[in-house]
């Protein structure tokens, strides 16, 4: 692709030597291998790189990041042989990379054909990392810029997308390998058919799709956030469609890179640890694979009993045998082949989904929601509709007229989607959901009886093989995040007598505690290992097989800040979970105790806060199961021998609550004082309700006060209100646990208080996500100001609520506004 044969236009020997530490290169100057252009703010440098002597590349990398991190490459597929490369501006005004020995060009901008005024051309490396070629020495008119020709990296303030006037498409292409910046096989590129979407390609096959823009972010990236770290700018007008990430805090170094194995990673530079840390990555799971479940289906990772694919309402598997064997790729077809038209059809709502590929859909940005439904209903070939913009209610209209492909189900976030169904499907569906509810009630009523019957029919005891693979040390990112490889857990069958022997027949002497879900006992196995056995109360209403499945899944979650589940036992109507034993018991025994509390200085408490945050992040984001804990509190944080925090009870919400893909529940599980308002009041839970509990927990760790221990009779005040009062009077340090004495740095404690207050914001949108919390804890970024938490908690007893109707809870909360 480069003009190897082209003759030298400039006489290399006449060129003025390049003087170092400048950011510009002008007509008569040249930059040779070894020289560097350094941007004015010393953020980026341009120069030659490449380890093998026969392969040198011109590129741009960070000035302040010790491990050379190249963000742009000029001659990707055309290395210069040896160190004879020079960069200069040729007589046509183009930047050109020449091999001084062979006199052929390895790379050239094709921006200019000036023959006369080429001597006024100047190139400058900007502090954003953009190499810009100007037509004039005053640097007003841009002829070419490296930001218009990205390689594998998207830097802040760099656009990706399409300029409709010029046809310029800015997209990312992976490197061939770690040491070869040549064009690799992965491409991340925007397409405008239907509505704009970004696709990840491997050669010519699509492997992932961001989905369309919802007004907040991409439909298939619900975790995308505009707050705290990034300011996004999405443009979709007559001249261009583009997305630009800005960084609010200029001191943060962050980049998005399409790596050689086809993953998009957003990384930030962690100054204190001198390494790149992963902030976000995609694709994540099987449901991200493009068209994983074929047409007219929904991919749902939470569907654990069957497999991840399910047909949309009104549709059935196209090839039932393949479907039965869990190959969903052939998709689904309409149940009755008869064409339905104007015979009382309606729509089913799928909530929290990535809407299907819009490549063949139609969009009208100004149409209202009701009109959209009518439009779709009127036209017999319309299969579904959705709103085009959900940033302020639902507005705009997208309609589909054929196959619906690549839908993914999320537990929360994303958007609603409306599938056209026949009149009989509508009737069928509402009947089903009624009987489903009835069935659930019966299960709850006779829950204990059913459990006993099921247990008698198959009594077994499972202990999951404890010989797990050691942490994969080569994977530094995973080990940084505390993750341990999710190897399938091996299961071996055990006998119940082992548990009764170990716990001395559940003797009181071995009882460690009691919570909403049951009692916990210490046990000694014959090989000397100490275990903790949780004997579940019999109300879960879950069948034996289901329970076993859940436990196996949960046992695969491994993170250094989660208590390790070793196995389970189901026998004689009882269900038990076996955990590793934590000698230091739980966090509440320390922070709420005048003597023990002094054992935890600020450094330790800060570490504990970090650890909890990483554990919760893993549950929310990094584990395949996407667990919402729903009962984060001090007594559920256990401490190991070195006082590392370990979250316990993290699978309980699943085991007891059932369907994690529903965002509303009428069975509220949790603990007063830690519950977010939307969860306590209307049973709406999400990862943001855990963020709320985390905020309360942090405030307890900082203040050493229980969330409702303030026993001023009249104005009984929750720890949140107590901290807020001091915060707004700018006396936040007054709330710090006196036991910490002078073990803390004020700015660090204030930052933690600040973050905690953001976590307990009354509106979920104002709360950060867990990954933002982790980031904020590790980086000194600017934080938004917290608003007043508007909730007052009455002090109540501290016990977990196992099941409780929302109306009972309602009376226990009192709103100020
Ligand atoms: C410049 O044009 C030539 C010939 O069309 C092409 O091979 C080369 O890739 C172009 N260079 C750049 C940097 O786009
Ligand atoms: C470039 O070098 C030539 C030859 O030395 C000189 O005549 C010309 O003025 C120089 N141009 C600029 C812009 O410095
Ligand atoms: C690079 O240059 C060396 C020495 O001039 C020569 O032996 C070698 O073949 C060259 N390699 C390529 C790929 O042209
Ligand atoms: C992608 O293209 C590269 C280069 O053309 C080829 O080597 C590779 O086998 C292709 N991969 C696939 C999956 O088709
Ligand atoms: C979505 O709607 C909001 C509020 O009406 C508007 O500000 C925004 O520009 C819209 N976004 C797009 C992409 O149309
Ligand atoms: C489209 O948006 C870009 C960026 O904001 C702006 O420069 C351009 O003028 C806009 N075009 C139209 C037709 O509004
Ligand atoms: C993001 O904010 C910074 C600082 O306010 C600003 O300079 C930049 O233009 C913004 N970027 C985008 C893409 O909005
Ligand atoms: C690419 O990124 C993925 C996801 O972060 C990671 O698992 C993989 O190891 C990376 N590949 C390379 C070659 O770095
Ligand atoms: C989009 O919807 C509006 C409002 O219903 C309507 O006036 C307009 O004609 C529609 N545009 C197209 C292209 O159909
Ligand atoms: C239904 O919509 C499709 C796609 O816009 C269009 O081609 C077709 O003519 C419409 N049919 C009717 C009956 O309006």
Measured CA to CA, the distance from residue 147 to residue 44 in angstroms comes to: 14
Domain 1-149 coded CATH 2.90.10.10: yes
Higher-scoring residue by pLDDT: 693, 422: 693
pLDDT of amino acid 340? 62
Ligand closest to CA 136: 2
Name all residues whose Cβ lies below 6 A of ligand 9: 364, 366-367, 371
H helix runs in 225-306, sequence order: none
Q: Nearest CA to 407 among 420, 398, 416? A: 416
- Token representation of residue 461: 């005891």
CB–CB of 413/223 below 8 Å?
Answer: yes
534 annotated to bind ligand: yes
Partners of residue 791 on adjacent β-strands: 815
- Taking residue 314's Cβ as centre, other Cβ atoms within 10 Å add up to 23
Measured CA to CA, the distance from residue 815 to residue 817 in angstroms comes to: 5
Buried b (16+ CB within 10 A) or exposed e, 572-611: ebbbbbbbbbbebbbbbebbbeeeebbebebebbbebbbb
| Tens of pLDDT, residues 575-602 | 888 888 888 889 998 999 888 888 888 9
- Range picked from 300-309, 626-635, 803-812 for highest mean pLDDT: 626-635
Question: ∠ at Cα 635 (519, 596), nearest 5°?
Answer: 120
pLDDT of amino acid 116? 72
Q: Catalytic site residue 337?
A: no
Residue of the nearest CA to atom 14 in ligand 3? 81
pLDDT of amino acid 484? 41
From start to end of 213-331, where are the E strands? 230-236, 240-247, 254-258, 264-270, 275-282, 297-299, 309-311, 315-317
Q: Nearest CA to 96 among 123, 147, 87, 30? A: 87
Buried b (16+ CB within 10 A) or exposed e, 268-282: bbeeeeeebbbbbbb
pLDDT of amino acid 794? 40
- Token representation of residue 586: 């739980």
Determine the atom of ligand 10 nearest the C-alpha atom of 362.
5
Asked whether 263 lines ligand 8 (CB < 6 A), one says: yes
pLDDT band per the 50, 70, 90 thresholds, residue 178: very high
* Gap from CA of 245 to ligand 7 centroid (Å): 8
* Gap from CA of 184 to ligand 6 centroid (Å): 32
Q: Which of 10, 88, 119, 137 to mutate to test the pocket of ligand 2 (most atoms within 8 A of CB)?
A: 119
Partners of residue 364 on adjacent β-strands: 397
CB–CB of 410/403 below 8 Å?
Answer: no
Class in CATH terms, 152-284: mainly beta
Residue of the nearest CA to atom 3 in ligand 4? 185
Name all residues whose Cβ lies below 6 A of ligand 4: 185, 202-203
- The total number of residues shown for the chain amounts to 817
Q: Is the pLDDT of residue 549 over 60?
A: yes
From start to end of 667-711, where are the E strands? 670-671
* Pairing mode, strands 169-170 and 159-163: antiparallel
| CB-side neighbour CA atoms (13 Å) of 441 | 6
- For the chain, the structural domain boundaries read 1-149, 152-284, 287-438, 443-580, 588-815
pLDDT band per the 50, 70, 90 thresholds, residue 21: low
Percentages of the chain per state (helix, strand, coil), in multiples of 5:
25, 30, 45
Q: Nearest CA to 796 among 770, 817, 814? A: 814
Q: Per mean pLDDT, which range of 83-97, 332-346, 399-413, 773-787 is the poorest?
A: 332-346
Q: Which of 366, 371, 376 to mutate to test the pocket of ligand 9 (most atoms within 8 A of CB)?
A: 366
Asked whether 782 lines ligand 7 (CB < 6 A), one says: no
Q: What is the mean pLDDT of residues 359-368?
A: 93
* Gap from CA of 689 to ligand 5 centroid (Å): 27
Query: Which of 99, 406, 425, 631 is an active site residue?
Result: 631
| Tens of pLDDT, residues 103-139 | 899 999 988 777 677 888 999 999 999 999 998 878 8
- Residue 286 is given by DSSP the state G
Measured CA to CA, the distance from residue 673 to residue 677 in angstroms comes to: 10
Q: Is the pLDDT of residue 572 over 90?
A: no
Determine the atom of ligand 2 nearest the C-alpha atom of 28.
1
Partners of residue 59 on adjacent β-strands: 47, 73
Q: What is the mean pLDDT of residues 69-78?
A: 97
Residues 6+ positions from 259 with CB-CB distance below 8 Å: 152, 174, 175, 265
Q: State the fold for domain 443-580.
A: Phosphorylase Kinase; domain 1 (3.30.200)
Q: Per mean pLDDT, which range of 211-220, 253-262, 549-558 is the poorest?
A: 549-558
Measured CA to CA, the distance from residue 741 to residue 729 in angstroms comes to: 22
| Tens of pLDDT, residues 704-730 | 988 875 444 444 578 888 899 899 998
Torsion angle defined by CA atoms of residues 807, 811, 816 and 817, in that order, rounded to the nearest 10 degrees: 30
Q: What is the mean pLDDT of residues 518-532?
A: 84
Residue of the nearest CA to atom 2 in ligand 9? 367
CB–CB of 813/794 below 8 Å?
Answer: yes
Q: Is the pLDDT of residue 806 over 90?
A: no
pLDDT of amino acid 464? 28
Asked whether 215 lines ligand 3 (CB < 6 A), one says: no
Same CATH fold, 588-815 and 443-580?
Answer: no
pLDDT of amino acid 778? 81
Look over the chain and give the mean of its residue pLDDT values, rounded to a whole number: 80
- Taking residue 525's Cβ as centre, other Cβ atoms within 10 Å add up to 15
pLDDT of amino acid 106? 94
Higher-scoring residue by pLDDT: 151, 487: 151
Q: What is the mean pLDDT of residues 191-210?
A: 96
| Tens of pLDDT, residues 642-656 | 888 999 988 777 776
Q: What is the mean pLDDT of residues 790-811?
A: 40
Q: Per mean pLDDT, which range of 187-201, 206-220, 226-240, 249-263 is the poorest?
A: 226-240
CB–CB of 418/373 below 8 Å?
Answer: yes
Q: What is the CATH number of domain 588-815?
A: 1.10.510.10
pLDDT band per the 50, 70, 90 thresholds, residue 228: low
Ligand closest to CA 82: 3
Torsion angle defined by CA atoms of residues 73, 79, 80 and 82, in that order, rounded to the nearest 10 degrees: 110
Q: How far is C-alpha 458 from the geometric centre of its chain's CA atoms?
A: 39
Asked whether 218 lines ligand 5 (CB < 6 A), one says: no
Collapsed DSSP state (helix, strand, coil) of residue 415: strand
| Tens of pLDDT, residues 262-313 | 999 999 999 888 999 998 899 999 999 999 999 999 998 876 556 889 999 8
C-alpha separations of 117 from 15, 27, 32, 125 in Å:
18, 10, 24, 21
* Gap from CA of 379 to ligand 10 centroid (Å): 6
| Tens of pLDDT, residues 447-496 | 333 333 333 222 223 322 222 222 222 222 332 334 443 444 574 456 78
- Taking residue 191's Cβ as centre, other Cβ atoms within 10 Å add up to 18
Measured CA to CA, the distance from residue 753 to residue 731 in angstroms comes to: 12
Q: Nearest CA to 404 among 334, 300, 320? A: 334
Q: Nearest CA to 315 among 333, 330, 329? A: 333
* Gap from CA of 305 to ligand 7 centroid (Å): 46
- Range picked from 59-68, 477-486, 781-790 for highest mean pLDDT: 59-68
Ligand closest to CA 2: 1
- Range picked from 336-345, 515-524, 617-626, 684-693 for highest mean pLDDT: 684-693
Residue of the nearest CA to atom 10 in ligand 10? 379
- Taking residue 811's Cβ as centre, other Cβ atoms within 10 Å add up to 8
pLDDT of amino acid 259? 96
* Gap from CA of 240 to ligand 6 centroid (Å): 7
CB–CB of 696/580 below 8 Å?
Answer: no
Ligand closest to CA 341: 10
Residue of the nearest CA to atom 10 in ligand 1? 110
Q: What is the mean pLDDT of residues 237-243?
A: 96
pLDDT of amino acid 697? 95
Q: What is the mean pLDDT of residues 333-354?
A: 81
| Tens of pLDDT, residues 399-420 | 999 999 999 998 777 889 999 9
pLDDT band per the 50, 70, 90 thresholds, residue 744: confident
pLDDT of amino acid 753? 95
pLDDT band per the 50, 70, 90 thresholds, residue 430: low
Q: Per mean pLDDT, which range of 221-225, 445-449, 790-794 is the poorest?
A: 445-449
pLDDT of amino acid 239? 96
């Amino acid at each position: 692709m480069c003009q190897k044969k082209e003759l030298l236009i400039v006489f290399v020997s006449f060129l003025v030597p390049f003087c170092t530490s400048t950011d510009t290169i002008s007509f008569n100057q040249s930059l040779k291998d070894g020289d560097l252009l350094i941007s004015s703010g010393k953020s980026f440098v341009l120069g030659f790189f490449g380890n093998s002597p026969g392969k040198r590349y011109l590129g741009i990398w960070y000035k302040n990041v010790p491990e050379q991190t190249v963000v742009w490459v000029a001659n990707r597929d055309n290395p210069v042989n040896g160190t004879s490369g020079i960069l200069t501006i040729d007589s046509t005004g183009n930047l050109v990379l020449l091999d001084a020995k062979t006199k052929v060009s390895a790379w050239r901008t094709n921006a200019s054909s000036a023959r006369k005024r080429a001597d006024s051309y100047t190139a400058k490396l900007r502090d954003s990392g953009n190499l810009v070629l100007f037509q004039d020495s005053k640097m007003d008119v841009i002829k070419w810029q490296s930001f218009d020709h990205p390689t594998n990296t998207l830097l802040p303030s760099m656009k990706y997308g399409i300029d409709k006037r010029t046809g310029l498409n800015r997209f990312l292409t992976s490197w061939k390998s770690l040491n070869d910046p040549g064009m690799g096989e992965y491409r991340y590129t925007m397409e405008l058919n239907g509505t704009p979407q970004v696709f990840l390609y491997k050669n010519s096959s699509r492997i992932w799709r961001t989905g369309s823009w919802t007004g907040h972010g991409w439909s298939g990236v619900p975790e995308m956030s505009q707050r705290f770290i990034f300011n996004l700018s999405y443009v979709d007008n007559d001249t261009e469609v583009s997305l630009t990430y800005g960084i609010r805090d200029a001191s943060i170094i962050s980049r998005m890179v399409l790596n050689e194995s086809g993953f998009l990673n957003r990384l930030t530079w962690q100054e204190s640890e001198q390494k790149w840390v992963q902030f976000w990555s995609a694709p994540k799971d099987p449901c991200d694979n493009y068209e994983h479940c074929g047409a007219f289906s929904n991919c749902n990772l939470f569907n654990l009993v069957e497999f991840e694919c399910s047909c949309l309402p009104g549709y059935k598997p196209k090839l039932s045998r393949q479907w039965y064997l869990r190959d969903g790729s052939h998709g689904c077809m309409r149940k009755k082949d008869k064409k339905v038209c104007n015979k009382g059809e309606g729509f089913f709502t799928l909530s929290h989904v990535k809407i299907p590929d819009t490549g063949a859909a139609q969009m009208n940005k100004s149409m209202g929601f009701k009109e959209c439904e009518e439009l779709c209903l009127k036209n017999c070939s319309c299969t579904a509709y959705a709103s085009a913009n959900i940033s302020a209610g639902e507005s705009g209209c997208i309609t589909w007229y054929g196959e619906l492909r690549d839908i993914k189900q999320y537990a929360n976030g994303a958007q609603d989607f409306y599938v056209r169904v026949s009149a009989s499907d509508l009737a069928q569906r509402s009947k089903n959901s009624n009987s489903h509810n009835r069935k659930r009630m019966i299960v709850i009523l006779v829950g204990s009886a059913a459990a006993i019957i099921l247990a008698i029919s198959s009594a077994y005891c499972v202990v999951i093989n404890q010989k797990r693979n050691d942490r994969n040390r080569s994977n530094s990112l995973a080990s940084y995040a505390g993750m341990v490889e999710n190897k399938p857990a091996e299961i071996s069958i055990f006998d119940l007598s082992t548990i009764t022997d170990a716990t001395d027949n559940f003797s009181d002497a071995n009882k460690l505690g009691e919570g909403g879900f049951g009692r916990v006992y210490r046990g000694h196995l014959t090989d000397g290992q100490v275990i903790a056995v949780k004997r579940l109360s019999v109300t879960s209403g879950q069948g034996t097989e289901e329970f076993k499945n859940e436990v196996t899944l949960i046992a695969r979650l491994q993170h250094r800040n989660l208590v390790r589940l070793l196995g389970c036992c189901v026998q004689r109507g009882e269900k038990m979970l076996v955990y590793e034993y934590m000698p230091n018991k739980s966090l509440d025994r320390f922070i709420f105790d005048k003597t023990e509390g002094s054992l935890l200085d600020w450094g330790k408490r800060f570490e504990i806060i970090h650890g909890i945050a990483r554990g919760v992040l893993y549950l929310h984001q990094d584990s395949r199961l996407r667990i919402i804990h729903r009962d984060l509190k001090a007594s559920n944080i256990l401490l190991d021998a070195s006082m590392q925090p370990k979250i316990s009870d993290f699978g309980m919400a699943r085991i007891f609550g059932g369907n994690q893909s529903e965002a509303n529940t009428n069975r509220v599980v949790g603990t007063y004082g830690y519950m977010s308002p939307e969860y306590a009041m209307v049973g709406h839970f999400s990862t943001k309700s855990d963020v709320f509990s985390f905020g309360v927990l942090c405030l307890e760790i900082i203040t050493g006060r229980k969330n409702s221990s303030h026993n001023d009779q009249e104005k009984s005040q929750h720890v949140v209100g107590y901290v807020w009062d001091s915060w707004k009077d700018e006396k936040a340090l007054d709330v710090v646990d006196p036991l910490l004495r002078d073990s803390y740095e004020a700015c660090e404690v204030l930052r933690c208080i600040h973050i905690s207050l953001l976590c307990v914001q009354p509106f979920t949108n104002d709360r950060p996500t867990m990954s933002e919390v982790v980031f904020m804890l590790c980086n000194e970024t600017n934080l938004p100001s917290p608003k007043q938490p508007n909730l007052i908690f009455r002090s109540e007893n501290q016990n977990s609520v196992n099941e409780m109707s929302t109306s009972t809870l309602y009376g226990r909360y009192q709103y100020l506004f």
